[in-house]
Structure 1
C-alpha cells in the first residue's frame, strides 16, 4: 500500500516537473524569439532602463546586449526542454527571473518604464502585468530549481547532445543578427508594409474616448471639515450648490477605461522653420521615397551615398520626390546634407515615430497616397533598375 502511494506521489511530482519544464521552456523560447525578431527595438527598451538606472554608458552596447539576451532566453528554454546541463540551466533561470522580476516590479512601482518589452511589440504588457507574469514564472522556476537533480538529458549520446546544443546556439544568435541587418521577419509596428499612414492616424466617428474618474479634495470654509469625493459623488450629492464647500487644488484624474486610440498618434513632419508638412507628404498621389535617419550621427554614411545616387536617378527619370526624415537639429542636418551632397529634401520629426517607421538607420520607405508600398533596411535596398522594373514600369 505504501509502495503504491510512493509511486503515485513520484508520478505526480514527475508530471509536475515536466509541466514546469515545458511551460517555462516554451515561454522562454517564445519570448526570446519575439524579441530577436526586432533586436533594435529591444535595444531601445534597454536604453530606457539604462537611463532609469543611470548606466547610459552602456547605450553603445545596447544592440549587442539585446541580441545576447534574446539568444540566452532561447538557449535556456531549449536546454531546459531537452534536459541539457540541468544544474547550470536551473541556476541560470533562477538568476534571470530574479533579475527580470526586479526590473518589472521597479517599473511598475515607480512608473519609470511603461512597457517592459517582454514580448516586444507583439504583445504589449503593462508593468504590473509583466510583474505578475514574472511571479508565475518565478514559482515554476523554483520547482525546477529544487528538482534540478531529477532532470535528465533526453539524449543519451553526449556527442549528439553537444551537436544539438551548438546548432541551437547558432540559431539563437543567428535570428537576432539576421533581423538586425535585414529588418524584422514579422513587423508588429503600425508602419508595416501595406499600412496607410493617414488612416492609422484617424479616430473613426463614434469611437469611444478614454473614461476618467476625477477625485476632488474639498474643504468647508466655515467648519474646516475636509472631504474627498469622486466626480460622480460630487454631482450626486449636489454639494457643489453649497458655497461653503471649496475645491482645494487640482482634481486628481484616474483612467477607468481605455477608449479607442489610433495606432499612430505622434507623427508630425515639419521643415526647418517649423511649418507642418505632414499632410502634404502623406497625401502625395505618386510614388515618393522617404529616407528615415532618426539620428544622423548613427546613420551609415556609405548607405546614404548609395541612396543619394539611386534617388537622384529616380527624380531625373521619373520625377520621384525624395525626402529625408530626421530628429536632428536643422543646423546638424544642414551640415550633414552638405557633407554628403544630399539631393533629397530634409524634414524633421520626433525620434520616437522615426524609430518605429523602419528599424534601420537609414531605412527606406516607398510611399504612394500615404500607403507603405515597401520598406527596406539599407542592407537590402534594391537597385535603381529593380525599383523601376518592379514598381514604376507597372504603371
Structure 2
C-alpha cells in the first residue's frame, strides 16, 4: 500500500502541475472553455460569464499549487480534500460533456493535447481512483523537508504562477500550441490531404413490407427491397479527417476575399474578435503602428466578428486607415489571445503575432515600391468618392433653373432645392468629407495611384483639386506620383498651375484661365517663359497648343495673348 500510495502521489502531483501549467500558459483560452460550460444550453450559468477569466486563473493556479503541495506533503488533509472535491467536479463535467456532446473539448490540457469528451472522462476516472487511494492511504504520505521549507516552496510556487499569469495576460502565451502559431501557413492548415480518411456513415432504410416496418442498414447504397419506402436515418460511425484550421474566412459585403489575402505578401492583420469587449486603449497603439505599416508599403486589414456598422464606427472614432473584414468569432479567439491583436502574414504564413501591448515591437521593413499591391477595397471606395465629387457639379454649370431641375430629376434627386447657391453648399460639404478621407490615405499610404487602385487613380487628384487650400501640402506627393506614372502627368501640370495662380504667381503649363467683370475680361493666366509653353505642354501630355486650348476654354473668337502679372494686377 505504501508503494501504491507513493506512485499515486507522484503521478497525481506531477499531472496536476503539468495540466495546471499548460492552462496557466493560456488562461484566456481556458476562460473561453469555461464560457462554453456557462452557456444557457449547457449549464445555464450565464451570470458567471463575466468572471470566467478570474475563475480560470484561480482554478489553474490552485491546480498547480495542489500538485506541489501533494509532492512536498504540505497541509496533507486540506490538500487531499481539495484534490478529491476537484476531481469529483471535473469527472462530473467531463461525463456531462461526453453524454450530451454539448462541449466537445474539456480543455484539460489546453491546446497542447486534445482529448475527446469520453477520453477526458476516462482520464478523470483514473485520477479519481488514484486520489481515492491517496485519500484512504494518507497515513503513508510523509512530508519532505522541514515545515518552513515546505511553506517557502508553496509560496514560491504561488509567486511563480502569478508572474506567469501577469506575463501571458499582458503579452501572449509563452508557448503557442494552436494551429495559428508563428511559422504556420493558414492555407496549408485548411488543406485536406488526398489520402485523408473520409467519414463513414451508416444508413438505416425503413420500408413498409406487408403491413410491417422493416429496417435495412447499408453504408449508403439503396437496398433492393420490395415494399413502400418510408424514410432513412443517417448515422456517422467514423469521423473523417478534419484539418487543423477550419471556419477561417475574410469576407466583406458578401464577397469572399480569403484567397486574395492569403496569397498576398506584406499583409498586416488587426484582429478584434468582438468590439463590445475589446480593450479600446489598444486601438491608439494599433493606429500608430498600422499608419507606419501603410507608410512603408504594407497592406493592412482588420478581422472581426462584429457588424460592419460597428467596425466602420470604430475606424472613424480612432481614425483607422483600413477596413475590417468578417471572420468567425471562435476562429479569431483561437488565432490570437488579445483583443485587439496583430499579425503579419506573408502569403498566408504567420511571421509575427503580437498583443496590442507590444504593438510598438512589430518589425516593419521599408518595402520596395515594386511590392505595392492592388487594393480592390480602396479602389471601390475611390470609385464611390469619384461619383460624389461630381454629384452636384454637373448641375452647377447649367445656365438655367429649368435645365438644372431637369438634369436633377434625371439623376434621381428628389424634392431638392436646385438653386445654384444650394448646389454649391451641398457640393462643398461633400468635398470637405471627401478630403478628410483622402487625407488619411495620403498621410499613411501615399498617393493611391495606378499600381494600387488601377483606373481609380485620378479620384484622389480630383478631390484635392477641389480643396485648393490643401494643395500646397500634398503637391510634392502629386508630382512624385506623376513622375512615377501613377497618374497622368498632365493632371500634375494642372494642379501645379492652379497652385501657382492661387499664390498670385505665373503658371507653367498654361492650364488656368480667369474671367474678370471688367475690361480684362477672359484671359489665360500669365505664364512663366511663354515662348516654351507649347513644348512643356507636349511633354506633360497635352495634345493642344496654348492657342488652341484658349479657344476651347473661351470660344473660337478668343485670341490668346501673352500677359504679365502686371497686366493682370492693374487696377
- Alpha-carbon separation, structure 2, partners of 1:241 and 1:29: 59
Corresponding residue number in structure 1 for 2:289: 310
Corresponding residue number in structure 2 for 1:113: 103
1:203 deviates by 1.7
- Alpha-carbon separation, structure 2, partners of 1:24 and 1:214: 44
In the alignment, structure 1 residue 194 sits paired with structure 2 residue 173: no
- Alpha-carbon separation, structure 1, partners of 2:162 and 2:237: 41
Structure whose alpha-carbon radius of gyration is higher: 2
Q: Choose which of 228, 250, 254 in structure 2 pairs with 1:274.
A: 254
- Alpha-carbon separation, structure 1, partners of 2:245 and 2:202: 26
CA contact (8 A) 1:87 1:149 kept: no
CA contact (8 A) 1:84 1:152 kept: no
Corresponding residue number in structure 1 for 2:322: 344
Q: Choose which of 246, 250, 253 in structure 1 pairs with 2:232.
A: 250
Corresponding residue number in structure 2 for 1:9: none
Corresponding residue number in structure 1 for 2:168: 179
1:345 deviates by 1.5
TM-score (norm 1): 0.88
1:383 deviates by 4.2
1:206 deviates by 3.5
1:212 deviates by 2.1
- Alpha-carbon separation, structure 2, partners of 1:308 and 1:148: 59
Q: Choose which of 122, 139, 142 in structure 1 pairs with 2:112.
A: 122
- Alpha-carbon separation, structure 2, partners of 1:283 and 1:101: 45
Give 3-state SS (helix, strand or coil) of 2:255's partner. coil
- Alpha-carbon separation, structure 1, partners of 2:208 and 2:174: 59
Paired residues for 1:142-161 under 5 Å: 142-155=132-145, 157-161=146-150
- Alpha-carbon separation, structure 1, partners of 2:144 and 2:360: 46
- Alpha-carbon separation, structure 2, partners of 1:184 and 1:328: 25
Corresponding residue number in structure 2 for 1:241: 224
Give 3-state SS (helix, strand or coil) of 1:300's partner. coil
- Asked which structure has the greater RCO (Cα within 8 Å, sep 6+), the reply is 1
1:270–1:216 distance in 2 versus 1, CA, 3 Å: same
Give 3-state SS (helix, strand or coil) of 1:15's partner. helix
4+ long deviations beyond 4 Å = none
Corresponding residue number in structure 1 for 2:240: 259
Corresponding residue number in structure 2 for 1:40: 28
Structure 2 unaligned segments of length 5 or more: list them. 372-571
Superposed CA RMSD: 1.9
1:270 deviates by 0.7
- Alpha-carbon separation, structure 2, partners of 1:313 and 1:168: 42
CA contact (8 A) 1:86 1:149 kept: no
Corresponding residue number in structure 2 for 1:387: 364
Paired residues, number? 367
In the alignment, structure 1 residue 230 sits paired with structure 2 residue 220: no
Give 3-state SS (helix, strand or coil) of 2:354's partner. strand
Give 3-state SS (helix, strand or coil) of 2:203's partner. strand
